Amino acid sequence: MLEMNAITKRFGGLVAVNDVSVRFERGTINAIIGPNGAGKTTFFNLASGALSPSAGSIKLDGQDVTGLRADQMARRGIARTFQSTTLFDNATVLDNLIVGHRLRTRANLIDVLLGTRRLKDEEAACRSKAREALDFVGLSHIEARLAGDISQEQRKRVAFALALATDPALLLLDEPAGGVNPEETEGLANLVRKMKGLGLTVCLIEHKMDMIMNLADKILVLNHGEKIAEGTPAEVRANPVVIEAYLGSDHADA
């Protein structure tokens, strides 16, 4: 459903991503792995619209979306999480999630000033969507807790919920299991499977190999900004080029 064709990104003289092509099929879980500095986050930024490619094209469900801004991509159904999510620590968890559905609403300044029916309905819709998303990630019980008081793993789930509240078709998760212990990692992996169960397409960057190998349908391996391998976990695991790339770096999990 998301096609990245011959994507290249240059920053001045530095080529961060070089001629990478990949397709993310609908309803699959895809992983992007590679040593540090391989260009994974840059690739994500290109997919989400945070950066526009120096060359190449991006197609979403057959439509050309190359060069669209991140907010435009979000409206077309591409949601994205970050390695660290800034939440309103002084607001409740639920409160944090309400703005997630904003992009599907049309209330404007006039609606706000006049207090129209549309505004009230849309605010209710955002609130119920927030509850729904929070329930999906299994955190309904902390909806009234202050966002500054929750654990790291819970923060990760809230970040997922925020992305889910945008009603996406494709989720880009940047290191969703960063900073959580193995048991919690398994929990988050199950959550990703649950998303697939909903029909969502997921793409994640991760360093935790165990998690990836058991979770992903397809893996894309980047090194120095280039695609060095692509395939199922079994294929990638046995690929000598991949092993070589990882042996050359400080990777504990590989």
Partner 1 sequence: MRHTASLGWSALLLFGLAFPFIAGNDYHLTVMSTAYIYAIATVGLNLITGYTGQFNLAHSGFMAVGAYTVGILTVDYQMPFWGALALSGLVAAGIGFFVGLVSLRLKTHFFSIFTLCVGYIMYLLIEKWESLTHGTVGIVGIPAPESIAGLDFSEPRTQYYLVLAFLAASMWIMHRIVNSLLGRTFMAIRNGDDLAQSLGINLMRNKLLAFMLSVFFAGLAGGLYAGYVRFLGPDLGRVEHTFDMTMYMLVGGIGTLAGPLLGAITVPWLTQQLQFLQDYRFVVFGPVLVLLVIFMPHGIVGTWMARRRRKAAQLAAPVAPVLRAVTARKGAHRA
Strands of the chain, DSSP E: 2-11, 14-24, 29-33, 55-60, 63-64, 78-80, 170-174, 201-205, 218-223, 226-231
Which residue lies nearer to partner 1 by CB, 59 or 118? 118
74 belongs to the binding site for partner 1 (CB under 8 A): yes
Site for partner 1 in 121-160 (CB under 8 A): 122-123, 126, 137-139, 141-146, 149, 151, 153-154
Cα 90–91–92 angle (5° rounding)? 130
> What's the Cα-to-Cα distance from 135 to each of 46, 114, 142, 186, 209, rounded to whole Å?
30, 33, 10, 18, 28
Site stretch for partner 1 (CB under 8 A), options 29-37, 112-120, 231-239, 243-251:
112-120
CB of 244 to partner 1, least distance (A): 34
CB of 54 to partner 1, least distance (A): 20
Which residue lies nearer to partner 1 by CB, 167 or 226? 167
Strands of 50-185, DSSP E: 55-60, 63-64, 78-80, 170-174
The Cα 208–Cα 169 span in angstroms is: 25
Residue carrying the six token digits 């290109």: 46
CB of 144 to partner 1, least distance (A): 4
The Cα 93–Cα 71 span in angstroms is: 23
Which residue lies nearer to partner 1 by CB, 98 or 204? 98
* Total residue count of the chain as it appears in this document: 254
32 belongs to the binding site for partner 1 (CB under 8 A): no
Which residue lies nearer to partner 1 by CB, 172 or 236? 172
CB of 175 to partner 1, least distance (A): 15
Return residues touching partner 1 (CB under 8 A): 48-50, 69-71, 74-75, 79-82, 85-88, 90-92, 98-100, 102-105, 107-109, 112-113, 115, 119, 122-123, 126, 137-139, 141-146, 149, 151, 153-154, 162-163, 166, 183-184, 186-187, 190-191, 194
